[in-house]
Amino acid sequence: MRPATLEFLKQRFTEYYEKGYLSEPSALSQREWGFIFFDASSEVRMRRHMAFADGRELRSYIRSMVPAHVYYSTAYYEMPGAPTMGEKFWTGADLIFDLDADHIMRGSYTDMLKRVQEETIKLIGMLTDELGFRHRDVSVVFSGGRGYHIHVRDIAIREWGSQERREVIDYVCGTGIDPGVMLSARPGMPGGWQRRYIDALREHLLWLSGLERGDAMRYLTGFERIGEKTASGFLDGIEPLLMHLQEYRTEGLSHNRMLRAIVAAEEGDLADRVREQAARADEPVTTDTRRLIRMPTSLHGGSGLRAAPLAVKDLPEFDPLVDAVVFGTRERKVDMRAALTMPILGNAYRLTKGVNRVPEALAVFVCCRGMAEIAGGGG
């Protein structure tokens, strides 16, 4: 990054931190803090093991140092500023879920933002509707990059260790699902993972029923110990089976030899469909009881977007490239490394390689992303 670009970004971040409202986490004085700076050397990537007595001290530090990234611990400590983890004396931690579009799909930035938003809504539904977490204890934050953080602050689970947290993340990610349990007959309408599994199986069998018979036979006889007679009989009876699954009736399914072979496959089309039903959260983040997480309302040094806290009810309508943008439309010049089409603040911009005039919000974004340098006359 050229010195002029670095100075441009530091000035814009200074502007925001001097004027912008900075929220602070609960029990601020019990948190460890970490910072990455724009001019950080490769030897000292993050300055951490820091603590602040109150919000005024924290805000003063941020406004004077102007970090590119601000993090605090999900954990609570007796001595958060101690130089080693063993000296901090851990007393508990929030339950955190991190959804990053990079771990879900590849595509344009806008497509990735849309997909990860859908996954976040799915995960929140699992936490509140199936695992019983209260809505008031669940908060969601757009990370400022390509994802969302979900914070669950409930005193009853604060002292959970990694194993208890592992059980929660295994549930939402669908780890260790037993097909036999999923297809076992139970009274009443199934919910949770049983319902999701049956939906995935029905979708898979609908796909199979739509194939040419020869293609379907080749697929079915590809399973170990499945001959043409078994495969043909299964195809002949697939319509009644689909009706049973549509009505979530699972009695007798475990006796179907062909179906047992299909659901027993650990990889393949059905396994992929089941994975699509899971929440795509980053498992190590949830199980880590000493994790640092980005501070809501701070700026993301890799995008210039705000780590935006929002109400769960507002998530479906949230547009990060409008609602998390804090800079305006003042014109700036940037020298693009390559062509780019980018929507921001409700408008789409087509940038060519070389010098372009763009609104300041877009200039900050492409410079933070390393896609451009600030050009001469850029203000």
Assign residue 333 the CATH number of its domain. Answer: 3.40.5
What band does 377 get if pLDDT is binned at 50, 70 and 90? low
What band does 138 get if pLDDT is binned at 50, 70 and 90? very high
Q: Report the number of distinct structural domains present in the chain.
A: 3
Write down the pLDDT at residue 378.
45
In this predicted structure, the answer to whether residue 42 has a pLDDT above a threshold of 70 is no
> Does residue 44 or residue 218 have the better pLDDT?
218
**CA separation for the pair 229, 226 (Å, rounded):** 8
Chain centre distance of CA 57: 31
Please tell me whether residues 99 and 31 are part of one structural domain.
Answer: yes
Write down the pLDDT at residue 41.
59
For residue 167, the domain's CATH number is 3.90.920.10
Length of the chain: 379
Residue tagged 């603040």 (tokens): 345
Please tell me whether residues 251 and 191 are part of one structural domain.
Answer: yes
In this predicted structure, the answer to whether residue 219 has a pLDDT above a threshold of 50 is yes
Please tell me whether residues 56 and 153 are part of one structural domain.
Answer: yes
In this predicted structure, the answer to whether residue 40 has a pLDDT above a threshold of 70 is no
Instruction: Tell me the residue ranges of DSSP E strands in the chain.
Output: 33-36, 47-50, 69-73, 75-77, 90-93, 95-100, 138-142, 147-152, 292-294, 309-310, 331-336, 340-344, 347-351, 354-359, 372-374
Write down the pLDDT at residue 254.
80
Q: Read off the pLDDT of residues 291-316 as tens digits, 9 standing for 90 and up.
A: 999 999 999 999 999 999 999 999 99
Please tell me whether residues 107 and 217 are part of one structural domain.
Answer: no
In this predicted structure, the answer to whether residue 15 has a pLDDT above a threshold of 90 is yes
Write down the pLDDT at residue 44.
56
- Percentage of the chain exceeding pLDDT 90: 83
What is the average pLDDT value for the chain, to the nearest integer? 92
Yes or no: say if 52 and 30 are a contact pair by the CB < 8 Å rule.
Answer: no
What band does 369 get if pLDDT is binned at 50, 70 and 90? very high
What band does 237 get if pLDDT is binned at 50, 70 and 90? very high
Write down the pLDDT at residue 105.
85
Please tell me whether residues 167 and 210 are part of one structural domain.
Answer: no
Please tell me whether residues 55 and 168 are part of one structural domain.
Answer: yes
Please tell me whether residues 219 and 94 are part of one structural domain.
Answer: no
**CA separation for the pair 118, 68 (Å, rounded):** 28
Please tell me whether residues 155 and 185 are part of one structural domain.
Answer: no
Model confidence, pTM: 0.89
- Percentage of the chain exceeding pLDDT 70: 98
Rama region for 354: left / alpha / beta (φ>0; ψ in -120 to 50; rest): left
In this predicted structure, the answer to whether residue 238 has a pLDDT above a threshold of 50 is yes
What band does 338 get if pLDDT is binned at 50, 70 and 90? very high
Evaluate the CA torsion angle 354, 359, 360, 362 in order and state its sign. negative
Please tell me whether residues 12 and 31 are part of one structural domain.
Answer: no
Buried b (16+ CB within 10 A) or exposed e, 203-224: bbbeebeeeeeeebbebbeebe
Closest CA to 374 of 273, 269, 304: 304
Q: Read off the pLDDT of residues 80-133 as tens digits, 9 standing for 90 and up.
A: 999 999 999 999 999 999 999 988 888 889 999 999 999 999 999 999 999 999
Average pLDDT (24-45) is: 85
In this predicted structure, the answer to whether residue 189 has a pLDDT above a threshold of 50 is yes
Residue that finishes a domain, picked among 291, 318, 345: 318
Please tell me whether residues 261 and 289 are part of one structural domain.
Answer: no
Range of the domain at 350: 1-19+326-379
Write down the pLDDT at residue 45.
80
Please tell me whether residues 153 and 60 are part of one structural domain.
Answer: yes
In this predicted structure, the answer to whether residue 184 has a pLDDT above a threshold of 90 is no
Catalytic residues: 98, 100, 282
Please tell me whether residues 109 and 230 are part of one structural domain.
Answer: no
